[in-house]
Amino acid sequence: MNSYELRAELEKHHRESYGWALSCCARNPAEAENVHQAVYLKALEGKARFDGRASFKTWLFAVIRRTAIDERRRRWLGRFRMDRYERSLERTACGESPDEAIYRSEIRALFRRALVELPQRQREVLQLVFYHDLSLAEAAEVMGISLGSARTHYERGKQRLRQLMEGVEISDDAGRRKNQKAVPTTERGR
């Protein structure tokens, strides 16, 4: 693949590849940008070469994943900043009562904790399939594992997530009443 073709493919997959970099970097935009830029440099300088054995998107996602793993230590600080940013967004949500905003925040936090409890490979395969629209075969290639292993991680991840979220109703007031044990509430001085 010549330089022109490589640049065209990188441009074609720019948005999706940035989204995957964001997922690999614990939703830290600054870290994702650094990883994304490092991947582009690797590709353009020939340090990472597309050999045509897989689709370009699959190859690109695999390079992003490996680069993000190399940058793992920096991601720990990014998680703290992203959580703080999400909390500020939840506080400014318009049209919701404060109680509803707190409840939704608690449900999101419960889901994030459940997702974090999954083993890394289960978490990654679920993100690739559900958030990046890759097939299981493509996800397996990105992760550098066999298709059978990807299927196993996918099924086990879904099953474990269901177990961790068991008994949690997401939507209405009836769900909120059912969730009183699953979603911790704080004393609000009533």
pLDDT tens-digit readout, 10-19: 999 999 999 9
CATH number of the structural domain 93-190: 1.10.10.10
Give the global pTM: 0.50
In terms of C-beta distances under 8 Å and separation of at least 24 residues, what long-range contacts does 136-142 make, across chains too?
138/54, 138/55, 138/57, 138/58, 138/61, 141/54, 141/58, 141/59, 141/62, 142/58, 142/61, 142/62, 142/65
pLDDT at 82: 66
The domain spans of the chain are: 1-75, 93-190
Q: Write the single-letter amino acid at 171.
A: S
Among residues of the chain, what percentage have pLDDT more than 90? Answer: 41
Summarised one tens digit per residue, pLDDT across range 118-138 is 999 998 998 888 778 888 999
Assigned CATH for 1-75 = 1.10.1740.10
Mean pLDDT computed over 168-172: 62
Chain segment 93-105, per-residue pLDDT in tens: 555 677 777 887 8
What string of DSSP letters covers 88-152? Answer: HHHHT-TT--HHHHHHHHHHHHHHHHHHHHS-HHHHHHHHHHHHS---HHHHHHHHTS-HHHHHH
Q: How far is CA 112 from CA 3, 58, 123, in A?
A: 40, 26, 11
Q: Which residues of 56-92 are buried (b: 16+ CB within 10 A; e: fewer)?
A: bbbbbbbbbbbbbeebeebbeebeeebeeeeeeeeee
